[in-house]
Structure 1
Amino acid sequence: TGGRREHLVWILLLLGFFLLGAALFGVVFKTISGGQNVQFLPILYCGLLALLALIFISFRQADERESRRKEREYLEESLARQDAYIYSLSGLKQELQEMNRELQDTMGAVGGLLACGREEEALRRLEQFDGELERFGTFAVYTANDGVNGAVTKAVQDCRRDGVRFTYRIMGSVGRFSSPDLGILLCNLLDNAREGSLKAPGKPSVDLAITNFRGYLRCTLENTVNRDLLESNPGFGTDKDDKINHGFGIKSIRRIVELYDGASKSELICRENGWVLRQELLLGFPRTERFKSPQESEKAAGDHGISGV
């Protein structure tokens, strides 16, 4: 119904533009040929300008609506992907428990074989167990925030696949924030960092650190970059072919930073192994937590520091 109504409005606007244009052309033609319709010329001219302005405004509104619709779809897809990662994490605990049981059984069997002096059989048993570990190819990060868990777990898997060295340290009070917000924020940051590092010369690397800082959650992200490519794109706009359906990641990052009264900055740093893009984001703790002092914020219940490479 909304689409039909919008199409009807456009048809009426174009029809009005055509009629006014035809009338204006007729009046001008009669005026030039000696007619007496000069008094209608300003009215028709102003009407034509008003209709042009109306068409321009309608185009702007339609473009904004389409942009909001695509951004909403992007956010929904991001949430769906994040939910899928979070759901997959629940099954990893069972896999880890199963792997732990198999490890204990294997170590017991190997110990028995070694005690009997059967070293070759013990070695074969260890090699067999090493092959069985391949089916436990999943990896999971566990913090007090499911969104962080899903985003970092995804980054670990993506970086392993692409050959990117990824290190992370999560020491901040992530449990106080909305899981979807932190998940979308980190997914976009880490995806952009990984893609940027792949375009850099040398070994690609990404480093993430999340800490508490004076009543804020501080997210610091560093990744190797191609300096020339970055300087040619200072606005961090998308360089993908489909620019209409991409580019919402940075908008989502800015929206979430503003939502938590935060701030962000980025700088290009020269390191021994090349150029690195350093991004730092500060997110204010939710208002229900603002009454706590910075010292208390450093000791958030339920948040445990983790790190990995």
Structure 2
Amino acid sequence: MGLVVIAEPIGYIIYLTLAGGVFEHEIVGYYFVVFVMEVFLLLVVELFCKIKAGKNVRVSLLPKEIAYTLELIPFASVVSCFLLIEIAGEIMSADTMILCMCVIFSIVVTNYIVFLMVHKYTGMAEKRLEEEMIYQEIAYNNEYYQDVEKYQEQIQDIKHDMKNKLAVLYDGVERGEREFVRDTLAEMLGDIRLAEDIIYSANPGLNSLIKVKVAKAREKGIEMTVKAFVPKRMSISFGDMGVIYGNLIDNAIEASMKIQREKRFVDVETKYQDGKLLIVVSNSKNMESNPAFATTKENKRKHGRGIRSVRRVAEQYGGNLLLEDEGGTFKASLLLTNVERLE
């Protein structure tokens, strides 16, 4: 910004220098200088585009204090250049013109150095964010595999108990104890429901992930419904799916835990169509309004990282996260616009 705006004062000084002696008509000199400076601006923009290869500097990654100071630098540069123009206009001499041009050139170089420093800083900030996201994904994967292991242990326990109960049931049948047999069968059916192999999605990775979360919700007395209409294979990685679905569903489960058991629910709906993946997670919550969406968890920093990780994954797929507090219900909606169907 500073480099581009400073080009105009440079052009004005060139115009003051040439208008009197080189061009007979003042208007001719004016348009000539304007043309030269526009070409200069074009070259500057093209140079920066080549240097940055289309990569923009994300000022949002900078701390607010640094960002505000950074915005003042181009403004101060422009003011300084206009002051130099006024000085050059008052003292029309070759030495003054050369001195002013040197000072303006120094301002240009200073702006360029500041730009490079900002680019370097934002690059480091992006790397830190990427590392934080990787750590978040690793932490989630560890939690996921622990949940899977716990789920498998529960299945093994049910199978082991089933063998013992079948043996007892056989003895009950032999003795003709109908009441005992009926109660034992009812208990066994309850265990089978816990271990039933429900297919929630045609996508194997998403199906296994949701299955673990449903088991986790049931353990906490939360009714969880799932509607998933997605292809068997998509261009979104399992790790990214884990970050998105894992964080959103875990947050929903924890929020539902804060109300009466009979009112708890979590609804998960995900649809795919024409390269777009819609994910909506709704959950019950207390009636207190939370317009700022501030976390009520004890570990606020961890919760904030989870939501930030979801937003960063969403950005990779051209998506956006929308959070809505509807009183007794909280809804997180995520639309990814760059997800390819692989089969």
In structure 1, the residue matched to 2:340 is 286
Are residue 167 (structure 1) and residue 227 (structure 2) matched? no
| 126 and 266 in structure 1: CA distance in 2 versus 1, 3 angstrom threshold | same
Question: SS where residue 220 of structure 1 aligns?
Answer: strand
Q: Normalized against structure 1, the TM-score is what?
A: 0.53
Work out the CA distance in 1 between the residues paired with 2:298 and 2:110: 38
| 94 and 229 in structure 1: CA distance in 2 versus 1, 3 angstrom threshold | same
Q: Which has the larger share of helix?
A: 2
Residue correspondences, number: 232
Are residue 109 (structure 1) and residue 162 (structure 2) matched? no
Q: Give, as a single letter, the amino acid of the residue that structure 2 aligns with 1:196.
A: A
8 Å CA contact retained: 1:206, 1:221: no
Work out the CA distance in 1 between the residues paired with 2:315 and 2:113: 38
| 172 and 112 in structure 1: CA distance in 2 versus 1, 3 angstrom threshold | farther
Question: SS where residue 309 of structure 2 aligns?
Answer: helix
In structure 2, the residue matched to 1:219 is 279
Work out the CA distance in 2 between the residues paired with 1:58 and 1:214: 39
| 202 and 85 in structure 1: CA distance in 2 versus 1, 3 angstrom threshold | closer
Work out the CA distance in 1 between the residues paired with 2:161 and 2:341: 42
Work out the CA distance in 1 between the residues paired with 2:315 and 2:118: 30
Question: SS where residue 176 of structure 2 aligns?
Answer: helix
Are residue 277 (structure 1) and residue 336 (structure 2) matched? no
In structure 2, the residue matched to 1:9 is none
In structure 1, the residue matched to 2:311 is 254
| 205 and 124 in structure 1: CA distance in 2 versus 1, 3 angstrom threshold | closer
In structure 1, the residue matched to 2:17 is none
What does 1:165-244 correspond to in 2, within 5 Å? 165-173=222-230, 175-177=232-234, 178-199=237-258, 205-210=264-269, 212=271, 214=273, 218-226=278-286, 228-231=288-291, 233=292, 236=293, 238=295
1:82 aligns with one of 120, 144, 149: 144
Q: Give, as a single letter, the amino acid of the residue that structure 1 aligns with 2:222.
A: R
In structure 2, the residue matched to 1:17 is none
8 Å CA contact retained: 1:151, 1:183: no
- Name the % identity: 19
Decide which structure has the larger Cα Rg and report it: 2
**Cα shift at 1:267:** 3.7
Q: Give, as a single letter, the amino acid of the residue that structure 2 aligns with 1:221.
A: V
Q: Normalized against structure 2, the TM-score is what?
A: 0.49
Work out the CA distance in 2 between the residues paired with 1:219 and 1:198: 22
Work out the CA distance in 2 between the residues paired with 1:91 and 1:223: 28
8 Å CA contact retained: 1:266, 1:278: yes
Work out the CA distance in 1 between the residues paired with 2:145 and 2:261: 34
Are residue 149 (structure 1) and residue 149 (structure 2) matched? no
Give structure 2 stretches of 5+ with no counterpart.
1-98
**Cα shift at 1:78:** 1.1
Work out the CA distance in 2 between the residues paired with 1:240 and 1:49: 44
Work out the CA distance in 2 between the residues paired with 1:190 and 1:200: 16
Deviations along 1:8-51, one digit per CA (max 9) or x if unpaired, are xxxxxxxxxxxxxxxxxxxxxxxxxxxxxxx9xx89x9799999
User: CA RMSD for the aligned pairs?
Assistant: 4.8
8 Å CA contact retained: 1:218, 1:281: yes
Deviations along 1:153-187, one digit per CA (max 9) or x if unpaired, are 245435634xx523222443364244333332221
